[in-house]
Amino acid sequence: MIDENINILELCKKPSRFETVKRVSSEWSGMDYLGSIKCRISNSFRMKYKIEPGLYAVGEPNENSDVFASANYKLSFDILRKALKGLNAWILVLDTKGINVWCAAGKGTFGTQELVKQANKVKLNSILSHKRIIVPQLGAVGVNADEVFKKTGFRVYFGPVYAKDIKTYLNAGRKKTSEMRKIKFSMFDRIILTPREIIPAIFKFFIFAFVVLLFFGIQPKGILFKSAWYCGEPFLLLGLTSILAGSFITPVFLPFIPFRPFALKGWLIGMLLTMFLIFLFNFQEQKNILILVIEILFFPMASSYLSLQFTGSTTFTNMSGVKKELKIALPVYLISSVISVILLIIYKLHKLALI
């Protein structure tokens, strides 16, 4: 998938020795754009979106050109090569198992060891006459600059967080402003991260819908579709609403929703929407107090759970905080689910005139 962008650059450092290096274009092809979109949507696609580790050339680099380290997640690589447009530079791709720099650095695959290994493997020493490697700042989570220096003699420069700042950074003599060091998390960032929350939630919703329809469908005369739909419909609508609340509205409007814990943010939005829907539709079955209690207990909670999942996509939540949230939230989720199920069973037995 990358071959269309590659040709071979022949290096001739010493007349007796030729080296060949793959050269990539800094333009994106249609396929590259398509891939960048697919990565946001499909987990399985993203997991396989890799390129070969090793050294690549952009433009006409020589022994004085800068080297940028990158991950072998193709999107990370693509973003970097696009940002290097018009420059002559090297890209050293580490084997991060197809994962982006930050996540891989957290796991240690984008790390000191791998950087040293790739630098040795491509014989960076023999290609360059300088001793600098520019590593994306977020790579610092896994790369210990001092150790790389001790093992290879190369000095690690932590470049800007965002590839778009690379040129400014280079022009300033490899200096970052404090703005270039900061990771941002704009509303746009959050919006494009939501499909990854919504899609798995929809899959869970199908299971939920099946169980709900089956449950309400069960009648003395067998399973009746009409009663399944009549009684189940509000639950299905409310279920979809909690996905909207927890996986879309809460993430997108994150900073504007009161409370710091994600579980509370999600619960609040879930509660507001659930109430809104209940009053709006004024379903027949809600005249039943049991059903009303279940709805108010369960759906805001589902939204809360989904919002908590979004902590995995943010750039500012920390492990200690999420652990603290989970310690309280998980028992609450468990208890309210159990209560909801018990109430449902009571409701059903009552309907069937068994109690």
Partner 1 sequence: MRYIKNVASLKFFAEKCTNCLICIDVCPHGVFLLKNKKVEVSDKDLCMECGACALNCKYGAIFVNSGVGCASGIIKGMLTGGAPSCDCGGPSSTECC
CB of 137 to partner 1, least distance (A): 6
Q: By CB under 8 A, is residue 54 in contact with partner 1?
A: no
Can you tell me the distance from the alpha carbon of 341 to that of 196, in angstroms, rounded to the nearest whole number?
29
CB of 181 to partner 1, least distance (A): 6
Q: How far is CA 317 from CA 45, 110, 116, 179, 321, in A?
A: 26, 21, 30, 20, 7
Between 138 and 213, whose beta carbon lies closer to partner 1?
Answer: 138
Q: By CB under 8 A, is residue 351 in contact with partner 1?
A: no
- Position among 203, 206, 279, 316 found at the interface with partner 1 (CB under 8 A): 316
CB of 326 to partner 1, least distance (A): 6
Can you tell me the distance from the alpha carbon of 74 to that of 333, in angstroms, rounded to the nearest whole number?
38
Chain residues 191-220 in contact with partner 1, contact rule CB under 8 A? 192-193, 196
Between 104 and 271, whose beta carbon lies closer to partner 1?
Answer: 104
Task: Name the burial class of residue 175, with classes exposed (0-12), middle (13-18) and buried (19+) by CB atoms within 10 angstroms of its CB.
Answer: exposed
Chain residues 124-143 in contact with partner 1, contact rule CB under 8 A? 136-138, 140-143
Strand partners, 7: 23
CB of 105 to partner 1, least distance (A): 8
Q: What single DSSP character describes residue 154? A: P
Chain residues 60-89 in contact with partner 1, contact rule CB under 8 A? 70, 73, 75-76, 79-80, 83
Q: By CB under 8 A, is residue 181 in contact with partner 1?
A: yes
Tally Cβ neighbours within 10 Å of residue 268: 19
Chain residues 234-263 in contact with partner 1, contact rule CB under 8 A? 254-255, 260-262
Can you tell me the distance from the alpha carbon of 270 to that of 243, in angstroms, rounded to the nearest whole number?
9
Q: By CB under 8 A, is residue 99 in contact with partner 1?
A: yes
The secondary structure of 26-65 as a DSSP string is: SSPPHHHHHHHHHHHH-HHHHHT-B---EEEEESS--TTS
Residues in the chain, how many? 355
Q: By CB under 8 A, is residue 26 in contact with partner 1?
A: no
Straight-line distance from the first to the last Cα atom of the chain, in angstroms, rounded to the nearest whole number: 64
CB of 251 to partner 1, least distance (A): 12
Of the listed pieces 212-220, 239-247, 295-303, 314-322, which binds partner 1 according to CB under 8 A? 314-322
Provide the residue type at 348 as one letter.
Answer: K
Q: By CB under 8 A, is residue 152 in contact with partner 1?
A: no
| C-alpha torsion sign, points 291, 297, 302, 307 | positive
Between 75 and 124, whose beta carbon lies closer to partner 1?
Answer: 75
Q: By CB under 8 A, is residue 265 in contact with partner 1?
A: no
Can you tell me the distance from the alpha carbon of 41 to that of 192, in angstroms, rounded to the nearest whole number?
9
Q: By CB under 8 A, is residue 103 in contact with partner 1?
A: yes
- Position among 218, 236, 252, 326 found at the interface with partner 1 (CB under 8 A): 326
